[in-house]
Each structure stands twice: as structure tokens, then as C-alpha cells.
């Protein structure tokens, strides 16, 4: 058995170890409930799954990846025009993400954005955590907003469909999560991973060190490089290779809390072993900042000593401050 602490070791097995779910079945009333219950079973036992036949046009996916690559081709000084702020918007240089428990910083750059709001948005005026105007690099990349927002909106719509199925499979009405997603946080990232070096290996430096995601639901588009690994229940790191036309979806910490541990937020990591850059675009499909995550919504006898109720935005913001160095100096 592979030791989960062994740097970048993983068992190469068929990707069907991470289940593949034809999400188009949810559009068929005759198949909705069966697929919903299957999805919950996977979310209970694996926490990771591929979504196929999702209906998001390939052109939107291609445009988003192209925009990402063009952005990261800019010089550091140009990208620094939108340096990341404490609202988690803008460009984060390498060396600024050290995930809890990691021996060193991640080998990656990130551009963060979220729901596109104006400075006088009511949620900003109320001081909602993580609700802020985006920092679009209009001076050097005026096309970025235009290319990313259609993709972002489509992924959030897809997440609402997944959440309808999860709610149903958990015994709730399909629209249980809907009110929390009227004005979702919906945090997006463009991520660039340089090729792994021998220095990285000696330092046990990952593209993304082992972690679980902070929010409710993540929908990830990865390129063809591979490198995503998931820790299964046996303590073995398995590969989650690219599957053409699919997204990787996983349960986050907040949904594990919300369901009182019924669904699992699974650890995963990234190692770019190729000689090329690796690109990915995760969208963290999180509810409104003020949404209350209460495990008694799913188990009236849930112990608050295990999972205390919390506001979604405040919980994620607390996690951010522990994992990203720019909070030490941001104002």
C-alpha cells in the first residue's frame, strides 16, 4: 500500500475508480431520481466524480483555457497590475500559497475572480465576506473578463443542477439549496503549474499540496497534462486523469459540514510531472456569503460540537487567511 505521506507517489489505475456520471440523465424525469441517488452514493463514498454530457459548449471551455494561457504569458510586472488583495481577487505569484500541513509553498500561480459586482453592491455595503469587485487586468488583458464570465456562469448553472440532485438524493426537496444560490460567491481560479523540477522534488513541493477544498462544490476543468491525484479510503493516492469532454467535480468541506458528514470532502493534490506547463480552471460553486451552514438541516440530532453552524463566507475567509501569505500584508 502506498504511504499517503510519500511525495508524489500514486497508483495508476483506470479512471473509472473515480465514477463517471452522465449528468444529462438529470434532464430526464424518468432517470432523475435514480441518478440523484447514485450521485449521493458516490458523494458519500468517494467525494469525487467526473461529469459528462454536461451541456456546456466546447467553445466556452476552449475560450476559457485560451484566455488563461494568454494571461499567464504576460510578464510578472504586467500581472502585478492586479496583484491579489485580501478579498481574494487578482493575481497571486508563485510562493504565496502554502496549504495547511505542507512543507513548502505550492508551485503555481493563480488568478482569482468571483461574481462580478459593482462597488456599491448591497452585499459589499453590508460587509459580506469575500464579496468584492473583481480585479480585471483591463490594461494588459482587456479580453479576460469577456472570455471568462460566460464560462463561469455556465458552470454555476451546472452546479445548481448537481445540487438539485444531491438535495433529492439526501431526502430534501430538489430546490433545497436554491435560496442560498441566488447571489452565490462562486469563486473562480485560473491556475498555472510550471513543470516539476528536481529542486521541487527534493523540497517535496507540489503544484498543490494535499488538501480538501474549503467550500461546497468544486467543478474543475483540467487540461491534458494529468497530475491530479485523489486519496481514497484505503489511504492510496490514485490518479484522476483527464477525461475528454468532462469536468471533475468534488465535495468540499462546507458541504461535508452541512450534511453532518454524510458527504465526504476528499483530500487531493497536484503534481505536474510533464515537461510542459499545466493549466486548470476550478470554479468553487459556493453559496451566498451569508448562507448559514447548519448540519441540523440534514440531521436534526446533529451535534454542534462536531460541526457548529457557520456563515459560508466567513468560514472560507478564515481558511484563506491560513493558507495564503498575502493576508499577512494586505489592507
Query: Over the stretch 1-56, which tens digit does the pLDDT of each residue have?
Result: 444 445 555 544 333 479 999 999 999 999 999 999 999 999 999 999 999 999 99
Output phi, psi for 21, to 5 deg: -120, 120
pLDDT digit string (tens) for 278-324?
999 999 999 999 999 999 999 999 999 999 999 999 999 999 888 77
Domain annotation covers residue 93: yes
Which DSSP string do the residues of 228-258 spell out, in sequence order?
EEEE-TTS-EEE----TT-EEEEE-HHHHHH
Read off the DSSP letter of residue 68.
H
Domain annotation covers residue 1: no
At 9 the pLDDT is: 54
At 310 the pLDDT is: 97
Going by C-alpha positions, the residue among 131, 151, 169 that lies closest to residue 38 is: 169
Domain annotation covers residue 196: yes
For residues 257 and 10, which has the higher predicted lDDT (pLDDT)?
Answer: 257
User: Number of C-alpha atoms within 13 angstroms, CB side, residue 331?
Assistant: 0
Instruction: Name the residue range of residue 74's domain.
Output: 15-328
pLDDT digit string (tens) for 119-172?
999 999 999 999 999 999 999 999 999 999 999 999 999 999 999 999 999 999
Domain annotation covers residue 10: no
pLDDT for residue 100 is more than 80: no
Provide the strand spans (E) within 34-170. 48-52, 90-92, 109-113
At 199 the pLDDT is: 84
Is there a contact between 128 and 227 (Cβ–Cβ < 8 Å)?
Answer: no
Domain annotation covers residue 228: yes
Beta bridge partner(s), residue 51: 21, 247
Domain annotation covers residue 7: no
At 73 the pLDDT is: 97
* CA 223 and chain centroid, separation: 15
Q: What is the pTM of this model?
A: 0.92
Domain annotation covers residue 83: yes
DSSP element (H, E) containing 29? helix 29-45
At 14 the pLDDT is: 33
Going by C-alpha positions, the residue among 78, 88, 76 that lies closest to residue 330 is: 88
Domain count along the chain? 1
How sure is the predictor about 216, in pLDDT bands with cuts at 50, 70 and 90? Answer: very high
At 8 the pLDDT is: 52
Domain annotation covers residue 48: yes
Instruction: State what percent of residues in the chain have pLDDT above 90.
Output: 78
CATH number at residue 128: 2.60.120.330
At 327 the pLDDT is: 61
Read off the DSSP letter of residue 219.
E
Q: How many Cβ atoms are within 10 Å of 34's Cβ, its own excluded?
A: 12
Amino acid at each position: 500500500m502506498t504511504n499517503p505521506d510519500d511525495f508524489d507517489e500514486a497508483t495508476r489505475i483506470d479512471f473509472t475508480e473515480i465514477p463517471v456520471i452522465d449528468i444529462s440523465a438529470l434532464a430526464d424525469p424518468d432517470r432523475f431520481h435514480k441518478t440523484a441517488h447514485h450521485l449521493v452514493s458516490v458523494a458519500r463514498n468517494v467525494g469525487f466524480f467526473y461529469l459528462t454530457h454536461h451541456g456546456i459548449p466546447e467553445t466556452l471551455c476552449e475560450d476559457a483555457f485560451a484566455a488563461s494561457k494568454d494571461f499567464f504569458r504576460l510578464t510578472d510586472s504586467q500581472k502585478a497590475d492586479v496583484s491579489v488583495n485580501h478579498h481574494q481577487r487578482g493575481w497571486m505569484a508563485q510562493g504565496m500559497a502554502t496549504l495547511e500541513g505542507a512543507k513548502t509553498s505550492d508551485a503555481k500561480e493563480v488568478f482569482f475572480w468571483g461574481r462580478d459586482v459593482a462597488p456599491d453592491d448591497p452585499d459589499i455595503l453590508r460587509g459580506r465576506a469575500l464579496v468584492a469587485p473583481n480585479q480585471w487586468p483591463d490594461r494588459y488583458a482587456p479580453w479576460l473578463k469577456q472570455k471568462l464570465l460566460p464560462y463561469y456562469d455556465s458552470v454555476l448553472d451546472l452546479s445548481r443542477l448537481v445540487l438539485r440532485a444531491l438535495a433529492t438524493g439526501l431526502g430534501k426537496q430538489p430546490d433545497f439549496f436554491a435560496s442560498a444560490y441566488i447571489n452565490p460567491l462562486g469563486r473562480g481560479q485560473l491556475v498555472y503549474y510550471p513543470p516539476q523540477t528536481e529542486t521541487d522534488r527534493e523540497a517535496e513541493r507540489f503544484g498543490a499540496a494535499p488538501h480538501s477544498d474549503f467550500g461546497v462544490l468544486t467543478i474543475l476543468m483540467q487540461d491534458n497534462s494529468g497530475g491530479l491525484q485523489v486519496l481514497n479510503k484505503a489511504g492510496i493516492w490514485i490518479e484522476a486523469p483527464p477525461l475528454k469532454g468532462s469536468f471533475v467535480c468534488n465535495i468540499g468541506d462546507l458541504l461535508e459540514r452541512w450534511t453532518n458528514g454524510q458527504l465526504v470532502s476528499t483530500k487531493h493534490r497536484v503534481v505536474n510531472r510533464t515537461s510542459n506547463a499545466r493549466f486548470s480552471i476550478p470554479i468553487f460553486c459556493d453559496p451566498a456569503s451569508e448562507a448559514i451552514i447548519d448540519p441540523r438541516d440534514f440531521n436534526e440530532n446533529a451535534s454542534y460540537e462536531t460541526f457548529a453552524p457557520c456563515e459560508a463566507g466567513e468560514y472560507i475567509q478564515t481558511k484563506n487567511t491560513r493558507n495564503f501569505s498575502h493576508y499577512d500584508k494586505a489592507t
